[in-house]
Structure 1
């Protein structure tokens, strides 16, 4: 029976022809250093649900194989570039997303874990990549986490334990990268291709048209009209300000700013959670998808995650506690790994969160309608981007309007609308 198109991304319903038994035989021979490996049976299916990701296509391969050691079955996850024509391929084909992620797995993440291990910290920041290539095609292959008990939370409502687990790993990651960037400033220089620096991003409809829909929403709601002048004022330049935030470390570094190797796309579907089968208690989370990792302002990951990881209730009721939890874990880790720079200050960090308010404006006006729709699993991201009518209807959803009401009042009370450019 073919995969259900209502549950999976359309471009993952059929695997590319090159993904055959011979291909996996060669991969496993290299991984196991055994030229005697032969594939007996192969079954390929989509590896992720609709809306789980965008900057790649992913498949799950159940590979039955034999060697002199016996017969085995291994479940593998294959991540590669989209081959079908369309917005996704156009956006990504000239990008550095696979080069970035391969460098993360091959160089940086092992180094991060090595530094943590030296302090007795056994935290796992990533699942090992068993194979990667850039030519003749861009591919990465991982052992499947699902048989190990990990699942994706697609509900859009992570528990506070899941949130704390995710931020614990991010805080440790940020702490190690802060230390390395101070001690070896050239080490992470290659990580400069962020989400906001994809080729032609300022003209891509996914990024450039959100404000138009948002202004129409403000104009249609009597209680929101008072905010319209603020967003009309920033409309010509807000995306440029947002992009500059991601380039800041290289082009306009600020004194006393905290720069780290950012994850770059820290949202609920870029992590998997493992719970105890008997008690249901959370045992671990695993971070995924490092295609957008870049050296930049530490607040960017936190702001992005507030809008893309937390539930509405957590955003509105637990934001400050979550930021404090993250920051406390960061400073505790810096002490344990013998960071010899000035210890980051929560006051300064909050000042930097405020300074990057244009990223918040962008996420609220452009990403959040899409994210809320993705969480109900009804539409594909490409469908929402390419269908203008469909996208416009997302701005009228009650859950989105509720978020807008809450955030605009918050922006006003925090002074976000002062000194707009």
Structure 2
């Protein structure tokens, strides 16, 4: 983390003081006489990592009747502009009842996987705040300045598959348990995410190798935003045959932390973070999102089916293990569900992908020598050919 960014990030609210931390630790440790002797705050994440929250790391030294102790805590508070949103209510609901229930089911079936960091305190009033164990103290780390390895992505998909399988069991047996989780992050309601299809369509028309796809996107452009909004709400309003899960809603590289063996350097585990966007929706939502938010260019081109099939294998294995009573999904039905959610992938290809590599498509042509543009054109060729093979352009 750059030193010149520390002052910009560290804006500790007045209520977050020694007395507040003392009260939290007294309750958590069940030590009414606990006394904090030292408290230091530093930024808990890098600038730009969090969209709706402020993350602060608190290093605490304290004394109880049992002796002297120290620990590091991660404190998550809401940005003022999001104070009226449901984000913290959703995440607290996940940590209060859903994630502990998922953990219970895994334990009962001899699965020791951890899906979340321990939350030692949460509150909506008078301040929206959550306090977690510091995963950094357990050798978990964010992946920065590089892409995820194959092993790390498989680890992330394994955790997501288990999360999805557990929610499928709950939805099948006790749907009211997750009824409150209905307000996901609708990407097309974010202005920059709803305005990319036109420039992308015109860009295709300027690239000879891609021009034949332009007419498809002229048709897609007309109704795909409305279709995406409808699909996000369909579980509540118009359920369809398919696989509904509790989606994570924001499954990208910055929302996982990975752990490697100290001696060998080999991948050991990953931990899911940030359950603020959870909602019941088709499982393909998280997977479409992850294709563009977890995978890199080479993985999207060369390993996509391998990685998604790995996710699916863990999903089926976990459903069997935890005693899922519904019909197990099979591979054809899984890929049919991905096809049904194709509008979501149209959104990511047309809007997020060029933005993520810093491209403006409004004037770009293949006569330019910019490496980013040429790489984007080559990736479009591969992705659009896959869309065609998968029947994405049929019955538009």
**TM-score, normalised via structure 2 length:** 0.91
Of stretches 405-414 and 166-175 in structure 1, the one that deviates more from structure 2 is: 405-414
Contact 1:113 1:124 in 2 (8 A): yes
Runs of 4+ in 1 over 6 A off after TM superposition: 389-396
309, 319, 325: which one aligns with 1:334: 319
Kindly provide the CA deviation profile for residues 177-219 of structure 1, in whole angstroms up to 9, marking residues without a partner as x.
111111112111111011118xxx63x3232222244245334
- Give the CA deviation at 1:99: 0.7
- Give the CA deviation at 1:309: 0.8
Instruction: Give distance in 2, aligned partners of 1:245 and 1:301.
Output: 13
- Give the CA deviation at 1:308: 0.8
Instruction: Give distance in 1, aligned partners of 2:179 and 2:111.
Output: 26
Aligned to 1:99: 89
152, 165, 171: which one aligns with 1:181: 171
Aligned to 1:238: 224
Contact 1:271 1:285 in 2 (8 A): yes
Aligned to 2:259: 274
Aligned to 1:285: 270
Instruction: Give distance in 2, aligned partners of 1:80 and 1:104.
Output: 16
Instruction: Give distance in 1, aligned partners of 2:307 and 2:42.
Output: 37
- Give the CA deviation at 1:106: 1.0
Contact 1:3 1:13 in 2 (8 A): no
Correspondences of 1:206-355 after superposition (within 5 Å): 206-255=192-241, 257-355=242-340
Contact 1:370 1:394 in 2 (8 A): no
Kindly provide the CA deviation profile for residues 341-386 of structure 1, in whole angstroms up to 9, marking residues without a partner as x.
211111011011001000001112222234445xxxxxxxxxxxxx
The answer to whether 1:27 aligns with 2:12 is no
Instruction: Give distance in 1, aligned partners of 2:339 and 2:131.
Output: 39
Contact 1:3 1:45 in 2 (8 A): no
382, 387, 390: which one aligns with 1:406: 382
- Give the CA deviation at 1:400: 3.7
Inter-CA distance 14–120: structure 2 relative to 1 (3 Å threshold) = same
- Give the CA deviation at 1:3: 4.0
Instruction: Give distance in 1, aligned partners of 2:364 and 2:10.
Output: 26
DSSP-derived class of the 1:235 partner: helix
DSSP-derived class of the 1:191 partner: coil
Aligned to 1:415: 391
The answer to whether 1:192 aligns with 2:182 is yes
Aligned to 1:17: 14
Instruction: Give distance in 1, aligned partners of 2:195 and 2:44.
Output: 31
Of stretches 394-403 and 56-65 in structure 1, the one that deviates more from structure 2 is: 394-403
Instruction: Give distance in 2, aligned partners of 1:241 and 1:355.
Output: 11
- Structure 1 unmatched runs, 5+: 84-88, 374-388
Contact 2:204 2:211 in 1 (8 A): yes
Instruction: Give distance in 2, aligned partners of 1:177 and 1:142.
Output: 23
Contact 1:259 1:295 in 2 (8 A): yes
The answer to whether 1:154 aligns with 2:140 is no
Inter-CA distance 137–259: structure 2 relative to 1 (3 Å threshold) = same
- Give the CA deviation at 1:393: 9.4
Correspondences of 1:124-143 after superposition (within 5 Å): 124-143=114-133
The answer to whether 1:43 aligns with 2:37 is no
Of stretches 18-27 and 309-318 in structure 1, the one that deviates more from structure 2 is: 18-27
Correspondences of 1:110-129 after superposition (within 5 Å): 110-129=100-119
- Give the CA deviation at 1:332: 1.2
Cα RMSD after superposing both structures: 2.5
Instruction: Give distance in 2, aligned partners of 1:238 and 1:350.
Output: 20
- Give the CA deviation at 1:76: 0.9
324, 333, 345: which one aligns with 1:360: 345
**TM-score, normalised via structure 1 length:** 0.86
DSSP-derived class of the 1:98 partner: helix
Aligned to 1:109: 99
DSSP-derived class of the 1:365 partner: helix
- Structure 2 unmatched runs, 5+: none
Kindly provide the CA deviation profile for residues 20-42 of structure 1, in whole angstroms up to 9, marking residues without a partner as x.
22221222122112232222222
Inter-CA distance 9–120: structure 2 relative to 1 (3 Å threshold) = farther
Instruction: Give distance in 2, aligned partners of 1:307 and 1:271.
Output: 15
